[in-house]
Structure 1
Amino acid sequence: MITPSLPLIDIGRFRDPAADRAEFLAELRRAAHEVGFFYVVGHGVPDRLTTGIFDVAKEFFALPVERRLAIENIHSPQFRGYTRTGYEYTGGSPDWREQIDIGPERDPVAGGPAWQRLIGPNQWPESLPSLRETTLAWQAEALRVSREVLRALAAALGQDEGYFDVWFDDEASTHVKIIRYPGRPSAERDQGVGAHKDYGYLALLQQDEIGGLQVQAADGGWIDATPVPGSFVFNIGEMLEIATQGYLTATRHRVVSPPAGVERFSVPFFLGPRLDAVVEPLKLPPELAAHAKGVSQDADNPLHAAFGENALVGWLRSHPKVAERWWGDVVGERA
């Protein structure tokens, strides 16, 4: 039995009438407030999908490079598709991973604020139709579980379970990454993904048995998020930090590359609201409000209450080649 390095939450207790609801909500609230990261089990996602998503990931990354590059994200104004190793940046440094970015399947939207141009279609490899089928099925289950955890968090914060639902209709801005981390190119270069926070409401991560995810502790050290079979790792995003005035804090985390000759696969799902959502502080019960630390102030990463603007800033910063090709007008305005 693997000893979890982070709190472990059985979300099945949230819908179990025989469970002690107050005790469950207290455990979830403590995990989200004190750590900002926790494992979730009891989610009910079938094994055929949790296994299947890794199967199709390995099939895709085994394709010849020219087939992968046929759906390279440079072809997509929405930053969708395949990204080569070293082409996404975190903290100004290249991440040592290759990946596919997938969002909701929608038609492009003309006009309006700049962030509306993030709406559009995905790119899929013609030679691997199972990737689309399996990914969209896994995405639907990840959305279901994430919505349930968000409803549980609302209750744990003294709100109605449906408090956040208004921004999570069919226009919600969800996002999946299917990632392969190759072994590090040298002992000195271990940045799989640089230290960062996630800017949505919640992030869900399915990781394989190879470790690498690390969570920053209050003292500045790093905690290994040891893989726990059958679990997802959840973390608080910046939008929940804004909504709770810092009672819940988006925690910095990173991925350390596996050793040379070892590869790691992971699939994160990011629960974002509608792009036109504007986060307003909720009214916490006094006993919780007394422990709200306020929203983090980081000159290099200012938080925007308008979600679309927050999302756009993140994409432009992390994918400079796509930004240069499709977003030159916006980048020029902000220079």
Structure 2
Amino acid sequence: MEVLNGTDIPVIDLSLFPGSQNVDIKQLESEEFNKLRKACQELGFFLVINHGINPTLVQAVEGRIRDMFALPAEIKNRAIFPIFNAGYGPFEVHDVTKDTTPENMVFPWDHLLPNSVEEISARLWPQGNPAFCEELNAYRTQVRELSHRILRLLVWSLGVDISSQSASELFEKSYGNLRMNYYDKSTEKEMISKAHTDISCITILYQDDVGGLQIRTKQDKWIYTKPVPGSFVINIGDVLQMWSNGRYRSAQHRVVYGKSNKNRLSMAYFHDFLDEFEIRCPKEMIDKHHPQLYKVVVKGDIVEYLKKTGPNLYNPLHFKI
């Protein structure tokens, strides 16, 4: 499959969008809203700038997380939890496909693991690490607020009334998981993380300057994305593809790494939902040109499917009508 190098993806300037709960219909036809729609429809990825996340805090958290991954394996293993998608996960090479899962640490929102930042920190540093907890919780709060702001823009861009029940539940029944991924530069050969789509609603990704993120296009080509300082990468997840009746695209992606002079770090925040959240596309998304594509399911159905199949390239297709 062809890989295109250094491709720019759309950059969305959040300072150009309204910040209130209400939006004038004329703003929905603005150049920036049209640019946002096209990015979600065609690529499923875009960058945001002027997002409001404190850059000093981002740098501080990156330093804390690099220090965390530098801990000895026997210490990191203390943060392994018998809970799906929580705590420490070691580097893994998959036997059949030979692709990889990077070393990772997941800090779920508190309904899955109460006080997850403090609980994981206590296992790693029994003597205490209050600065780690304070900075990580502050970052998690700021990125959560950003996820709500971006999701409002996406709902507006689809022409759905944000006060409607179908739209409001996107916020009321949501939570967020924060996943840190660490890619070791020491490998002597090129490594590829498992290609997948995200089952979340949207993902907010901070990546360092190493690069390596690839996105699969509609034309079945892999494109590299250039890291842009001060930006976050946003991608559409499976839940939003299904909720939007396929209007917005959950794109497959992966990371190619190794042969670098620096370990790669990414921090992904997944705006997600409780297992009982019902994924039902709103009536505005269905018409004679856009018949309903997906069954009405709850988020727990997708999670159970993921547990059986592992990270999957085609999660939404399993739930097509």
TM-score (norm 1): 0.77
Q: Counterpart of 1:66? A: 74
Structure 1: distance between partners of 2:233 and 2:288: 26
Q: Counterpart of 1:56? A: 64
Q: Compute the displacement of 1:96 (Å).
A: 4.5
Q: Counterpart of 1:266? A: 266
Question: Match for 1:13: what amino acid?
Answer: L
In structure 1, runs of 5+ residues without a counterpart are 107-118, 296-302, 320-335
* Mapped contact 2:100–2:191 kept (Cα < 8 A): no
Structure 2: distance between partners of 1:207 and 1:304: 34
* Mapped contact 2:86–2:105 kept (Cα < 8 A): yes
In structure 2, runs of 5+ residues without a counterpart are 1-5, 312-321
For residues 35 and 168 of structure 1, do their structure 2 counterparts lie closer, same or farther at Cα, with a shift above 3 Å needed? same
Q: Which of 15, 18, 30 does residue 18 from structure 2 map onto?
A: 15
Q: Counterpart of 2:222? A: 222
Spell out the pairing of 1:125-274 with structure 2 (5 A cutoff): 125-126=121-122, 127=125, 128-163=129-164, 164-169=167-172, 172-183=174-185, 185-187=187-189, 189-191=190-192, 193-259=193-259, 261-274=261-274
Q: Counterpart of 2:105? A: 100
Question: Match for 2:277: what amino acid?
Answer: A
Matched positions, count: 291
Hey, which of these two has a bigger chunk of strand by percent? 2
Spell out the pairing of 1:262-301 with structure 2 (5 A cutoff): 262-284=262-284, 290=289, 294=293
For residues 59 and 37 of structure 1, do their structure 2 counterparts lie closer, same or farther at Cα, with a shift above 3 Å needed? same
Q: Secondary structure at the match of 1:183?
A: coil
Q: Counterpart of 2:86? A: 80
Q: Compute the displacement of 1:34 (Å).
A: 1.4
* Mapped contact 1:91–1:194 kept (Cα < 8 A): no
Q: Secondary structure at the match of 1:255?
A: strand
Structure 1: distance between partners of 2:290 and 2:215: 22
Q: Compute the displacement of 1:261 (Å).
A: 4.8
Structure 1: distance between partners of 2:291 and 2:231: 29
Question: Match for 1:133: what amino acid?
Answer: E
TM-score (norm 2): 0.81
Question: Match for 1:7: what amino acid?
Answer: P
* Mapped contact 1:4–1:228 kept (Cα < 8 A): no
Structure 2: distance between partners of 1:197 and 1:306: 18
User: For residues 201-242 of structure 1, what are the alpha-carbon distances to aligned partners after superposition, in whole Å with 9 as ceiling and x for unaligned?
Assistant: 101100000101101112211111210111110011111111
Q: Counterpart of 2:8? A: 5
Q: Secondary structure at the match of 2:194?
A: strand
Matched, 1:313 2:305: yes
Q: Compute the displacement of 1:65 (Å).
A: 2.0
Q: Secondary structure at the match of 1:63?
A: coil
Question: Match for 2:180: what amino acid?
Answer: I
Structure 2: distance between partners of 1:205 and 1:162: 27
For residues 258 and 222 of structure 1, do their structure 2 counterparts lie closer, same or farther at Cα, with a shift above 3 Å needed? same
Q: Counterpart of 2:35? A: 27
Matched, 1:120 2:113: yes
Structure 1: distance between partners of 2:261 and 2:35: 40
Q: CA RMSD in A?
A: 3.0
